[in-house]
């Protein structure tokens, strides 16, 4: 049974890498227009204030996202909690900030399935690309996730719907390890039903 789990986990991780590579090749139509996008320094300052400091791992993740997509035109700051026993659930809430616009309250919830076990509570900072109207965030964003929390941890994945790309960065505490596929549904109101 153990070799089968190892092979299955390896296949999930390979799928995660291919999915991440496919999303990373997506263009960022907003480009680097400074009046509509955030610079790397602005995001670094917001991340540092939100997470109360940065680590080498967090700095590396930001470098990778900027290398893949350039300057974001928004970000979400929030908190979330989740757990899984093969099938997982995730719930969160925060504020969407688009450059030059008032923050908008958002909630998210969603199911996942995969080789995933454990639970976590995390702060979530999501870089947002190609979102011109805050109302467009209220939809489902599919994604592949790999998490490793052993007391404390850091994770990142990409989610995409049409041309909108989200890059959630999570840092939190818990005991969770695995790879899964699923979606997050961003809503105006908090929902218990993750579907």
Which residues on adjacent β-strands are paired with residue 147? 178
Would you say how long the chain is, in residues?
A: 195
Token pair in block for residue 149: 């929390």
**Percentage, residues of the chain above pLDDT 70:** 81
Token pair in block for residue 4: 């089968």
Query: What pLDDT was estimated at residue 16?
Result: 41
Q: Hey, which bits of the chain come out as E strands?
A: 74-98, 104-129, 140-156, 159-161, 164-187
CATH of 2-187, one of 3.50.40.10, 2.40.70.10, 3.30.450.20, 2.40.128.480: 2.40.128.480
DSSP symbol at 73: S
User: For 55-59, 102-106, 118-122, 172-176, which range has the lowest pLDDT when averaged over its residues?
Assistant: 172-176
Query: What pLDDT was estimated at residue 148?
Result: 66
Q: What is the mean pLDDT of residues 8-15?
A: 40
pLDDT tens readout for residues 29-51: 445 677 889 999 999 999 999 98
Q: What mean pLDDT is reported for the chain?
A: 83
User: For 89-93, 141-145, 150-154, which range has the lowest pLDDT when averaged over its residues?
Assistant: 150-154
Please name the residues in contact with 53: beta carbons below 8 A apart, sequence gap of 6 or more: none
CB 70 within 8 A of CB 167: no
More confident residue, 164 or 2: 164
Query: What pLDDT was estimated at residue 57?
Result: 86
pLDDT tens readout for residues 37-92: 999 999 999 999 998 877 888 899 999 999 999 999 999 999 999 998 989 999 99
Q: What is the mean pLDDT of residues 131-159?
A: 85
Please name the residues in contact with 171: beta carbons below 8 A apart, sequence gap of 6 or more: 51, 58, 122, 123, 152, 153, 154
């Amino acid at each position: 049974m153990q070799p089968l789990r190892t092979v299955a986990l390896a296949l999930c991780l390979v799928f995660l890498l291919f999915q991440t590579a496919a999303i990373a090749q997506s263009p960022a139509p907003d480009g680097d227009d400074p009046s509509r996008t955030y610079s790397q320094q602005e995001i670094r300052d917001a991340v540092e204030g939100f997470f109360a400091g940065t680590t080498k791992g967090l700095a590396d993740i930001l470098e990778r996202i900027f290398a893949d997509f350039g300057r974001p035109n928004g970000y979400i700051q929030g908190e979330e909690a989740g757990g899984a026993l093969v099938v997982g659930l995730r719930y969160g809430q925060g504020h969407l900030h688009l450059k030059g616009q008032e923050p908008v309250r958002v909630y998210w919830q969603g199911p996942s399935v995969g080789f995933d076990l454990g639970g976590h509570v995390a702060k979530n900072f999501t870089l947002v690309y190609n979102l011109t109207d805050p109302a467009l965030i209220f939809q489902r964003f599919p994604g592949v996730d790999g998490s490793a929390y052993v007391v404390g941890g850091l994770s990142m994945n990409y989610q995409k719907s049409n041309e909108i790309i989200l890059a959630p960065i999570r840092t939190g505490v818990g005991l969770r390890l695995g790879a899964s596929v699923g979606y997050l549904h961003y809503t105006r109101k908090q929902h218990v039903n993750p579907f």
